[in-house]
Structure 1
Amino acid sequence: MALFWLLSCFALFEAVCGCGVPAIHPARSSNARIINGLESLPGSCPWHVTVIVFNHPKFHRRSVSKDITLVKLVTPVRLSKDKATVCLPQNRELFPVNTLCLTSGWGSTRYNVTSVPQRLQQSYMTLMDNQQCMRYWGTTVPKNVLCAGSLGVTMTKGDSGNPLVCLSNNTWTLVGLMSQISKANSSYKPFFSPRITSLLPWIKKTMRNES
């Protein structure tokens, strides 16, 4: 039993059983996507939860870089194959362009559907160069924001705040959070995400102050 911190829908506290190592490895398919997506295998994304508490003090609707929320669970949680934590990156850990990452969420699975799926959806996508991302959006992408996407894969209504995790040293590590997406639900337009490594000082300070 332990108290946990959540980062915009993510458990952060590294428990005895280890972070970023789900009991079931997420399935991979070339046809997998959140829209027209693939059902997430039970236990393959055990860190996915949906609770919100503390907003970043410098959050602004027009800025992606501080689009983050911390949550502290006040009730003890027992870890299991269906409940696990994700790892935070190291302070200066790098995730190169074209790194294959995973996202999961409860957003709509079709462009014209308003209801949410009954089961958690998942999709793999790659990290993109900010200059490359700028070609899609026509705007400058700052260094503390990352961009990810893949042809035929996109986020939609209900996916905001969902985690973007990448494998690092054989453990799933949180690198970003779904933030700005295409309002037209274009599956050819990448999304913006706050860069977690840039937010680590605030994350760790908040956790210390509230522990």
Structure 2
Amino acid sequence: MKISHTLWMLALCLRLAGGERIIGGHEARPHSHPYMAFLYMFNKSTHCFSCGGFLIREDFVMTAAHCNALNINVILGAHSIKKSESTQQIKQVQKQFIFPHYQNLQHDIKLLKLKSKAILNNEVSLLPLPGDHDMAHPGTKCSVAGWGSTSRTGNSITDKLQEMNVMVLPEEECKRQYPKKFTNNLMCAGDKMHEAFKGDSGGPLVCNGVASGVVSFTSSNTELATVYTRVSAYKKWIEEVLNST
């Protein structure tokens, strides 16, 4: 895909996008989350949608497996995704690595190999993955960021990166809220006033400076928390993919 065509498709996708939101957040300070990636995806020329993601190596972005399309392009270094900012780096995806056992939002994690490496600077940088002792225990305050609408009702759409703080909930509470869906490879955080939703999928849950989770799913029930794929559960697979390319 040529860059000029890529930009035209991005403009089309942004005109069609809507309903993706971080609820209960506020506009982030520009480039205060330099690891954030905006994914715009196309299955057909008129069928496009967006997700979040984050840079973990100069040539790799992590996102959710359900953010799936034949063509995925990535914007790094953005604050407003509807403006052509000098800080932005537009990258095409060379290959997608979906966790082998992904199904029905279980094991909802994917790696994207970029065709060219990102240039690291103040606006584009890597988000560390959790180490063996980087556990986000219940009560830990974390942050999540994304682009889109800011409320469940109405058309409060924003093109600027939104952020919010959320608290990790106990596993027992997550199981109570999602008795049929919650497994040990997941974690949940937030409440009805603070949650990630739809187009925020694939973005990072950042706890103690590392990527503890990947936004996976929530419920139409406003009382329930957002569920995240627990990154530490997939460290071996992540390392295998990174070491193979």
Please indicate, yes or no, whether the TM-score normalized by the shorter chain is above 0.5: yes
5+ long unaligned stretches in structure 2: 1-20, 40-71, 73-95
CA contact (8 A) 2:148 2:159 kept: no
**155, 160, 166: which one pairs with 2:196?**
155
Choose the corresponding residue for 1:193, options 228, 233, 242: 228
Out of 82, 91, 108, the position equivalent to 1:67 is: 108
Per the alignment, residue 97 of structure 1 pairs with 138
What's 2:173 paired with? 132
Residues 1:35 and 2:13 are matched in the alignment: no
In the superposition, relative to structure 1, how do residues 115 and 158 fare at CA in structure 2: closer, same or farther (>3 Å)? farther
What is the distance in 1 between the residues matched to 2:182 and 2:24? 28
**Range 87-96 or range 138-147, more displaced:** 138-147
Q: Work out the CA distance in 2 between the residues paired with 1:182 and 1:107.
A: 18
Whole-Å Cα distance in 2 between the matches of residues 199 and 114 of structure 1? 36
8 Å contact 2:144–2:196 — kept in the other structure? no
Per the alignment, in what secondary structure is the counterpart of residue 132 of structure 1?
A: helix
Q: Which moved more, 1:109-118 or 1:143-152?
A: 109-118
Deviation larger for 89-98 or 118-127: 89-98
Provide the C-alpha distance between the structure 2 equivalents of 1:112 and 1:104, rounded to a whole number of angstroms.
19
Give 1 or 2: higher helix fraction: 2
* 8 Å CA contact 1:91, 1:200 repeated in 2: no
Q: Which moved more, 1:157-166 or 1:113-122?
A: 113-122
Cα offset for 1:35? 1.7
Quote how far apart the aligned CAs of 1:140 are.
Answer: 6.2
Whole-Å separation in 1 of the counterparts to 2:155 and 2:200 = 13
Alpha-carbon contact 1:107-1:155 (below 8 Å) kept: no
SS at match of 2:119: coil
Q: Distance in 1 between matches of 2:150 and 2:114?
A: 29
Asked if residue 202 in structure 1 is aligned to residue 240 in structure 2, the reply is no
User: How far apart in 2 are the matches of 1:76 and 1:86?
Assistant: 15
Aligned residue pairs total 170
Moved more, 107-116 or 88-97: 107-116
Partner of 1:106: 147
Once the two structures are superposed, residues 109-133 of structure 1 have per-residue CA deviations (whole angstroms, 9 ceiling, x without a partner) of: 1212457421011110011111112
Residue of structure 1 in register with 2:10 after alignment: none
Matched, 1:44 2:32: yes
Structure with a larger share of its residues in strand = 2
1:55 equivalent to 2:98? Answer: yes
CA contact (8 A) 1:107 1:156 kept: no
| Alignment RMSD (CA, Å) | 2.0
The one of 190, 211, 216 equivalent to 1:174 is 211
| TM, length-normalised to structure 1 | 0.73
Shift of 1:79: 1.4
